[in-house]
Chain A
Amino acid sequence: MDEKTRQATRYWTLAQPAVSAFVTSVVRDFRDRDDVLQDIAVAVVESFERWDSARPFVAWAMGIARNQVGLYLRRRRRDRQMLEFDTETVNALVSAFSDIADEDAQPQLDFLQECLKRLEGRARKLCELRYQQDLKPAAISNLIGMTANAVAKSLERIREQLRDCIVHKAAAQGTVR
């Protein structure tokens, strides 16, 4: 591996969480996210020489991500059921995710794994079905005897609790900015 590729790898590793979250927020389906993310990684490495190092890498990678997401949306646009953000909203998100990555919000999220360990029972099951199985609330409701609305509300509540847990742990360890 040459020095350029090594450098691209290092930068990509740092940018990937924000880029991945951006893709998820627009694409939403996790399997599709993985495919799009792979295309972005290829495009980033392929065009790394065109990156102007005077500019933040994450913002540049996010520009590539935006284009790849645009391509994905073009492929899916024939599906009239699909809800998608307009260009202006997507551009606002590109800036927001770039800002968040620059602010280095990652250390706080590193507490997520510890907070997840505290989930049990139905909350744990819901998370596994949603995030491991990539099931939507309607599909989950068929499996566990709740309404789709109740599943969605429970997931919302679980995420809120996890967020509180992360903030609390970060504060205790002095990593809150």
Chain B
Amino acid sequence: MNEKTASLIDGHLDHVLTPEQHQELSEWIRSSPDNARRFAAAAMLHDRLRNELMISGSQPDESGCRVRENSDTPNAAATPNSDESGSVTFFRRRSLIAFLSTAAVISIAIVLFFKSFGNSPTLAAASELRRLIELNALPMDRTYQITVEETVLPRRGRRGPSPEDGRPPKAPLDGATLYVRDGQQFVLSRITAAGPFVTGSNGKVSWAVRPDGPVRYSEDLNRFNRDVPGHEHDMPLVNIHEGLARLRQSYEVQLLPIEEAEFPEPATRLLVAIRHPGERGAKRVEISYEVESGLIRQMRFIEMPYGPQSLTLRLTLLSEASPGEHFFDHESHHDANRRVEAE
């Protein structure tokens, strides 16, 4: 390991790298398992230093020796001091670290032991849903792929009046990409025969960029969200947190067994929610998530009302990276010379 790489590792541990240096270090780690192990060895020392100094910080100073910072003979500075008290302290210290670690786990085990009382499948499912809601309350950007599995049209004569009557048919959802951000911001991008059809909202105005014609926007945030499934039934897919909260109120929730995955893939679990009689929204919702992190990878909505139709569709998480600060403004989705009209 050359001096420059050593400096990058130390700089990373001390938070002094620039983004470019950080990228350089990341590439170096990825370039070979040996490099990754060298980094790991440096991090082990750094981590242990924290533990040792935290312990010694709570004890009287017993130092009497020194490491000479500019020694001509580096190893001379590190000559073993073969005193017996050193060995005793050494083992005491090692035992202390092991004890602290064990004590932490024992206290966790006791908590888990008491938590296990009174657990029923229903309570466990409700508790797991609560945990998912908490974990997904984070205000962050998410990108989903929409896949429509089935579309059911209403039987002739069975349908009453609908707000969709008289409106042009909705553009196809299958294959669409949905970007969401907190504050009811979203972008729904669909490909039609005429070209891309994008609707969205930046939280201040909602807008639609059709393949042709002017770009339209409105201060009514609901004006252009009718194509996002779920908006009519208080389960807006643009807000995963609200959607999960709605499951708590209007659905019976069940948990399926954990599914193990091949290392290093995390274990996943399926949470199934079945709509209570008399409630509106999808008949059944299936949520597939990573057990430890609560990261929702896929949501499946079965028989979800969508205009006059009923859809079975799934949302698959593509990314949690930000698509860009201005991505939810309509200007990011059309040429600057396009005509823009307010509604």
Min distance, Cβ A7 to any Cβ of chain B, angstroms: 11
- Give the contact-size bracket for chain A: 35 or more
A112 B45 Cβ-Cβ under 8 A: yes
Are A160 and B6 CB-contacts (below 8 A) given A114-B81, A168-B80? yes
Residues of A within 8 A of B294 (CB): 71
A131 B263 Cβ-Cβ under 8 A: no
B40 A100 Cβ-Cβ under 8 A: yes
Task: Determine whether B37 belongs to the interface, using a CB cutoff of 8 Å to chain A.
Answer: yes
A128 B37 Cβ-Cβ under 8 A: no
Task: Determine whether B112 belongs to the interface, using a CB cutoff of 8 Å to chain A.
Answer: yes
Residues of A within 8 A of B51 (CB): 20
Which of B60-68, B232-240, B244-252, B280-288 is the contact stretch?
B60-68
A110 B90 Cβ-Cβ under 8 A: yes
Among A30, A67, A88, A149, the residue within 8 A (CB) of B266 is A67
Residues of A within 8 A of B48 (CB): 17, 21, 109, 112
A interface, over-half SS: helix
A172 to B53, CA, bound (A): 24
B263 A159 Cβ-Cβ under 8 A: no
Interface residues of B in 43-83 (CB under 8 A from A): 43-54, 56-57, 62-67, 69, 74-75, 77-81
Task: Determine whether B14 belongs to the interface, using a CB cutoff of 8 Å to chain A.
Answer: yes
Among B10, B17, B260, the residue within 8 A (CB) of A50 is B260
Residues of B within 8 A of A166 (CB): 45, 78
Which of B96-104, B119-127, B156-164, B188-196 is the contact stretch?
B96-104
Task: Determine whether B168 belongs to the interface, using a CB cutoff of 8 Å to chain A.
Answer: no
A118 B10 Cβ-Cβ under 8 A: no
A155 B52 Cβ-Cβ under 8 A: no
B44 A18 Cβ-Cβ under 8 A: yes
Identity of the chain A residue whose Cβ is nearest the Cβ of B106 in the assembled complex: A9
A114 to B80, CA, bound (A): 9
Task: Determine whether B276 belongs to the interface, using a CB cutoff of 8 Å to chain A.
Answer: no
A47 to B267, CA, bound (A): 10
Interface residues of B in 81-99 (CB under 8 A from A): 81, 86, 89-90, 93-94, 98
A43 to B149, CA, bound (A): 35
Residues of B within 8 A of A47 (CB): 258, 267, 291-292
Interface residues of B in 1-29 (CB under 8 A from A): 6-7, 10-17, 19, 22, 26, 29
Min distance, Cβ A99 to any Cβ of chain B, angstroms: 6
Identity of the chain B residue whose Cβ is nearest the Cβ of A96 in the assembled complex: B36
Among A78, A160, A168, the residue within 8 A (CB) of B79 is A168
Task: Determine whether A164 belongs to the interface, using a CB cutoff of 8 Å to chain B.
Answer: yes
Min distance, Cβ A10 to any Cβ of chain B, angstroms: 8
A159 B46 Cβ-Cβ under 8 A: yes
B258 A50 Cβ-Cβ under 8 A: yes
Task: Determine whether B166 belongs to the interface, using a CB cutoff of 8 Å to chain A.
Answer: no
Residues of A within 8 A of B6 (CB): 156, 160
Residues of B within 8 A of A156 (CB): 6-7, 10-11, 14
Instruction: List 3 A-B pairs, minimum CB-CB distance, nearest first.
Output: A165-B78, A96-B36, A25-B43
A114-B89, A120-B63, A164-B78 are known contacts; what are 17 more A-B pairs with Cβ within 8 Å?
Answer: A9-B105, A13-B105, A25-B39, A45-B109, A71-B135, A77-B320, A95-B33, A96-B39, A105-B41, A110-B90, A114-B80, A118-B65, A118-B78, A123-B69, A124-B63, A138-B16, A162-B49
Binding site for B on A (CB under 8 A): 1-2, 5, 8-9, 12-13, 16-18, 20-22, 24-25, 28, 30, 33, 38, 41-43, 45-47, 50, 55, 59-60, 63-64, 66-68, 70-71, 74-75, 77-78, 83, 85-86, 88-89, 91-97, 99-100, 105, 109-121, 123-124, 127-128, 130-132, 134, 136-138, 148-149, 152, 155-169, 172-173
